[in-house]
Amino acid sequence: MKKLPLVLALLTGLVVSASGHAVMLTPEQRNALTQLDALPSRDQLNSVHANDASLALQNLRDTAIDPADPTVQIRAIGALPQYCGSPCDPANEVHATLVSVVTEPRYRDSRAGTDLLVLRAGIEALGTLRVAEDIDLLIPQLAHPSRDIRAAVAHALRDLGNPLAIDALFERYPVETVPQVQLAIEDALNALVSPTALSPQNP
């Protein structure tokens, strides 16, 4: 009998997040966040929230920090940047939510599994917000053990467009041994400095 409330909660789409927030997702809202071909647009998300952008945003924020369903969580993280301009105001709640994901020890210090995928999604989303100051959060992760995280960080630094990231990228490039990450660093540097930045005279 004790399992009945949990079963009812799952059937109704109610999930209580680790922060204590109740995340209410109707079947339509869940479907919008789990479509396979692409992330849902802002209009699609609003439409499954009775065209209430504030409600859609609040549900996305709650879902982004809720580890109950990593698949939906990752999709919510990816969709959040649509609710802030680019560049996003650093004080905006979308930015604050993504920073909380990337700095949460569970994700920041992860080395494998779904927590690592959540970290990657958060890093990629931060890049699209183009908040220049986020280089302080991202640069340390250039040394992350996961090549996928290092590549995601390089791409995010490229997207931020902050030239203060150039030195860190140059420092990482000679010691990076994974071609996938090397290419990501080259791409970032080519976007931040001249195309000849990686010529032999400027290794």
CA–CA distance, 4 with 20 (Å, rounded to integer): 20
Task: Give tens-digit pLDDT for 77-103.
Answer: 999 999 998 889 999 999 999 999 999
- 122 pLDDT higher than 50: yes
Q: What is the pTM of this model?
A: 0.79
Of residues 148 and 203, which shows the higher confidence score? 148
The tokens of 120 are what? Answer: 């990657």
- 3 pLDDT higher than 50: no
Task: Give tens-digit pLDDT for 133-190.
Answer: 999 999 999 999 999 999 999 999 999 999 999 999 999 999 999 999 999 999 999 9
pLDDT value of position 7: 29
